[in-house]
Chains A and B, each alone.
Chain A
Amino acid sequence: MLQPWAIALVSLAYLGALFGIAYWADKRADAGRSVIANPLVYALSLSVYATSWTFYGSVGRAASDGVGFLPIYIGPMLAAILFWVVLRKIVRISKANRITSIADFVGSRYGKSGLLAGLVTVIAVVGIVPYISLQLKAVSASFGLLTRYPDVATPAHATVPILADNAFWVAIVLAAFAILFGARHLDAAERHEGLVAAIAFESLVKLAAFLAVGVFVTFGVFGGFGDLFGHAAASARIAPLLTPFGKVSYADWTWLVALSMLAVVFLPRQFQVAVVENVDEDHLRQASWMFPTYLLAINLFVLPIAVAGLIRFSAGGVDADTFVLALPMAEGHQWLALFVFIGGLSAATGMVIVETVALSTMVSNDLVMPLLLRYGALGVSRRADLSSFLLAIRRGAIVAVLLLGYGYFRFAGEAYALVAIGLISFAAVAQFAPVILGGLYWKGGTRAGALAGLAAGFAVWLYTLLLPSLARSGWIAPSFVEQGPWGVAWLKPYALFGLAGLDTITHSLLLSLLANAGAYVLVSVLGRPGPVEQAQAVAFVDAMRRDAGPIRVWRGETTVEELRVLLGRFLGRARADDALAEYARGRGVSPDALAAEPGLVEHAERSLAGAIGSASARVMVASVVREEALGLEQVMDILDETSQVIAYSRELEDKKRALEAATAELRAANERLRELDRMKDDFVSTVSHELRTPLTSIRAFAEILADNPDTPADKRQKFIGVILKETERLTRLINQILDLAKIESGRAEWHTEALDLGELVREAEGATDALFREKSVRLSTEVAAGLPKVDADRDRLMQVMLNLLSNSVKFCEPETGLVRVRVACEPGRVRVDVVDNGVGVAPEHHERIFEKFRQVGDTLTDRPQGTGLGLPISRQIVRHLGGELWVESEAGRGATFSFTLPTTGSGRREA
């Protein structure tokens, strides 16, 4: 059943299915209905982090170090928390600058330096080669194991001719698929929707396979977790593995966690899926928890499987790295074994494909193209159409990387467990951390500093990890490791400068990062950044600030046609036109009306960067734009201008707002003045009317009497009576008007003293006694005992009381009329109520009666003879004394006029 050809067939079928998914996803993307634009797919694509290292290697590590396999998964989980901060910034910058790889990112940050990008590419390729070889090793070993079913013993290593080596053919097949997935055509933005979809799918497959075997082992072979770990604890050999840190020291845990935190972002394949392929920044939010959840799930059964393997194969002879496959095979479940194999294959191919695609992009954009452009080999600069040439370079790079991986596997891979090989690669990509993290948060990092840092770190890594690994396999004399080169002890690769006693990885990491960061900072601080570097530094570090816009540093002359030709050479005519049309759309002009302005040049540069990398793009565009070399002065001038413009427009905004506020205020004040004017006019008009009315009667009757001497005596008396009465009325009116005017304008004289209100009320009653008796209205008084004194002007207050009393008499019916006066004490004040049972005042008139000249009772036939000013004056007086006067009443049910005055010492309010 498990014949080699059958397994191969199933494998090819699976890869074919994967490709089918990729193809379908690409078609959907072209139709505008992307399948990968959701956070779940994004998080699953990040899970390409779990390769056959996870699938096979973790179990192998767990079998020797217990829980010590875990740190490299804890790192990414911790890093996920920082996704939203750090990774989002990287994504945003990359989108804005059309960055296509990690080399592009670094090169772009330090002034679009081709040299830097090239160095990063070299480090990446060399660093990842071991990692790829580890995948090849895993696939070929598992393939071999499966074909030997049911024999699970690991055979001794035999040197096989290349063409008969499984691993070689695996490499070839993977190269072919990688080309199919990632180098079918050139995309201006380097996006591979199909690839991402396929990766997401394979993440699911490997998770399912691992969980399947995990469940099988834990619950099928043993009786659950308790049973399994019970057996483990009982065994002296296995029990030590179950201690909290396993067999790995605390210090090493810390280092491994830190290392994997860096790896999950800086591995080329991780950068590719996390940054370059990212569709929407917001996906990072969900990925922050989805990705750790995945890692948790896939690591759940690692320890159980390792323990089960140790128990089951206690006789030895089975490589712990193969437990995952060996266990189902030993139990006779070949279908499960096949599924597990596919899972492992999935994990390996996912890594290889994405990694090689990312590396090939870097190699083509940042290594080969710049070299060819610089040295003009193959007449590159004269070729009209380079797109197919670029594609060929990409494909060649994929094949080359895979062959290098196979080479390393063949010459060095056998001596190491999978995990150890992987950690070597991790340490390599860790070298990117200082320059990238520094570049994101420190404007002082310079190109020279970055070059120095990377070079130093890489050199140390080579010396302390890569070369010794070759020694272990016999390609370099072992004495190199044991005694140091030429017998110099302090140059021993695993104990450089006498730093002994550390794990090899830790040792290498410590020294390489020290050299890296040290050189980076030192050289940066000692040197000066060039103009483009500075501009890029600002653009990168300030990328998250909302008002940071792209800084235009292109000055020079070119034509749209030249740009079109340039773009056409690298992108093909169709895509070149598309790019120009895109810019025209953004500016709202038609493509024919485009002018060769700095914005267009920048857009062209960015579009080109997608195909050949930003360093090369810059060079090409510069060759077309006849540009003056920008000195620092000019760049600073541009920056200054921009910031000045921004500051100036902000000032204008503020001024405008202040002006608007002032205008509104003025308008309101104007309104108020107009109203006051109107009110004043009305007042004057009303007063004059009120004064002229009695005058009219006086004059009229005086004239009548004068012109008609023989008027009968009774009529004469009557007329004279009217004259006298109206004169009085007039006088009263004038007095009251003047009084009110004085009180309102604050020019009245007030003589305040402490008064007993009860006493005053009685006095007022006495004064109005005649009035009450005349109309036969009864008056009663209730004064509370122990009244506190109030501060008031005696005469004025008397005026108020008289006014209220005379009003109440006026509105009462004779005989039945009753007026009650109550004086009572309230907290902080004294209150007086004048209650009558007269006609009352309807609620709608309650405020009107306090208005000047208003008199209620117009509907009465018996029009009251008043001035209409009594109540307004009373209210003004009471208010001036710190109290309030008001009425409670309903039509037909009498009225209660009340006022309060604050007691002595309880504070006065000036009305």
Chain B
Amino acid sequence: MSKRVLIADDEANIVASLEFLMEQAGFEVRVATNGREALEVAQSFVPDLVLLDVMMPEKNGYEVCQSLRQNAALAQVKIVMLSAKGRDIEVAKGLELGADAYVTKPFSTRDLVAKVREMLGA
């Protein structure tokens, strides 16, 4: 059974590129364009990994991360935070809130896919 990946980002182009990459890697993909939507889809989709943008409307990536971690059902989900904000404190905050990885934009597509594969053990 293929692993499931949830992509949460408000930039349509970025979503498109991530979608392409993940599908090409053989994962099942769902998309959310804001924080609230991300949590809803996560509930129903129960992904194995979430690519989570930080700067999103309605709930930002940090809040989503926190909520996901507090949810028992989603405790095992891998969370990879994506952000154009790369300052140390922001990275630290993400990791503190429970993210498994923090990737700054612009990212290397190859590196990102490799990392996802590694995390999902695929």
List the interface of chain A (C-beta within 8 A of B): 685, 688-693, 695-701, 703-704, 707-708, 722, 726, 858-859, 863
Contact = CB atoms under 8 A, between A and B. Distances in A.
A547 B14 CA distance: 80
Closest 7 CB pairs of A and B: A692-B84, A700-B17, A696-B105, A697-B13, A689-B84, A703-B109, A696-B106
A693 B24 contact: no
B56 to A, nearest CB: 10
Contacts of B10: 863
Given A693-B84, A858-B57, A707 B17 contact: no
Given A700-B109, A703-B108, A689 B14 contact: no
Nearest to A702: B109
A685 B85 contact: yes
B87 A685 contact: yes
A803 to B, nearest CB: 23
A701 B17 contact: yes
- Most B CB atoms within 10 A — which of A693, A704, A708, A722? A693
B21 interface: yes
Nearest to A694: B13
B19 to A, nearest CB: 11
Contacts of B83: 689
17 contacts: A685-B87, A688-B85, A689-B84, A689-B85, A692-B84, A693-B14, A697-B11, A697-B14, A699-B108, A700-B14, A703-B108, A704-B20, A704-B109, A722-B16, A726-B13, A858-B57, A859-B57
Contacts of A696: 11, 14, 84, 105-107
B95 interface: no
B106 A699 contact: yes
- Most B CB atoms within 10 A — which of A691, A696, A722? A696
A688 B86 CA distance: 9
Interface in B104-121: 104-110
B20 to A, nearest CB: 6
Contact of B106 (A685, A690, A692): A692
Contacts of B18: 700
Contacts of B84: 688-693, 696
Contacts of A722: 13, 16
A258 to B, nearest CB: 91
A701 B12 CA distance: 13
B55 interface: yes
A1 B24 CA distance: 144
A689 B110 CA distance: 22
B24 A700 contact: no
Contact of B17 (A688, A690, A692, A704): A704
Interface in B10-60: 10-14, 16-18, 20-21, 24, 55, 57
Contacts, number: 62
Contact of A689 (B13, B16, B55, B109): B55
B106 A695 contact: yes
Contacts of B104: 692
B21 A704 contact: yes
A241 to B, nearest CB: 107
Interface string B55-68: 10100000000000
Nearest to B21: A704
A693 B12 CA distance: 11
Contacts of A700: 14, 17-18, 21, 106-107, 109
A814 B12 CA distance: 23
A690 B21 CA distance: 23
Contact of B11 (A691, A693, A703, A859): A693
B13 to A, nearest CB: 4
A902 to B, nearest CB: 40
Given A696-B14, A704-B109, 16 more contacts: A685-B85, A688-B85, A692-B84, A692-B104, A693-B14, A696-B11, A696-B84, A697-B11, A697-B13, A699-B109, A700-B17, A700-B21, A700-B106, A700-B109, A722-B16, A863-B10
B41 to A, nearest CB: 16
A858 B87 CA distance: 25
A855 to B, nearest CB: 10
Nearest to B104: A692
B107 A707 contact: no
A696 B12 CA distance: 12
Contacts of A691: 84
Nearest to A861: B33
Contacts of B20: 704
B108 to A, nearest CB: 7
Contacts of A703: 108-110
Nearest to B11: A693
B8 to A, nearest CB: 15
A762 B103 CA distance: 49
A859 B107 CA distance: 28
- Most A CB atoms within 10 A — which of B87, B107, B109? B109
Contacts of B14: 693, 696-697, 700
A701 B109 CA distance: 9
Contacts of A697: 11, 13-14, 17
A729 to B, nearest CB: 10
Contacts of A726: 13
Contacts of A690: 84
A699 B84 CA distance: 13
A696 B87 CA distance: 17
Contacts of A707: 109-110
A690 B83 CA distance: 11
B16 to A, nearest CB: 7
B105 A693 contact: yes
A707 B108 CA distance: 12
A689 to B, nearest CB: 4
Interface in B62-94: 83-87
B105 A692 contact: yes
Contacts of B17: 697, 700-701, 704
A701 B83 CA distance: 17
A863 B14 CA distance: 14
A685 to B, nearest CB: 6
A685 B83 CA distance: 12
B110 to A, nearest CB: 7
A728 B49 CA distance: 33
Contacts of B110: 703, 707
Contacts of B86: 688
A696 B84 CA distance: 8
B88 to A, nearest CB: 12
Contacts of B13: 697, 701, 722, 726
B24 A708 contact: yes
Contacts of B85: 685, 688-689
Contacts of A692: 84, 104-106
Nearest to B113: A707
Contacts of A698: 106
Contacts of A699: 106-109
A728 B18 CA distance: 21
A859 B10 CA distance: 11
Contacts of A688: 84-86
A700 B15 CA distance: 10
B67 to A, nearest CB: 20
Contacts of A708: 24
Contacts of B24: 708
Contacts of A859: 57
A903 B76 CA distance: 68
B52 to A, nearest CB: 14
- Most A CB atoms within 10 A — which of B16, B85, B106? B106
A719 to B, nearest CB: 8
A418 B24 CA distance: 136
Nearest to B18: A700
A859 B14 CA distance: 19
- Most B CB atoms within 10 A — which of A690, A703, A704, A858? A703
Contacts of A704: 17, 20-21, 109
A400 B104 CA distance: 115
B94 to A, nearest CB: 15
A373 B73 CA distance: 110
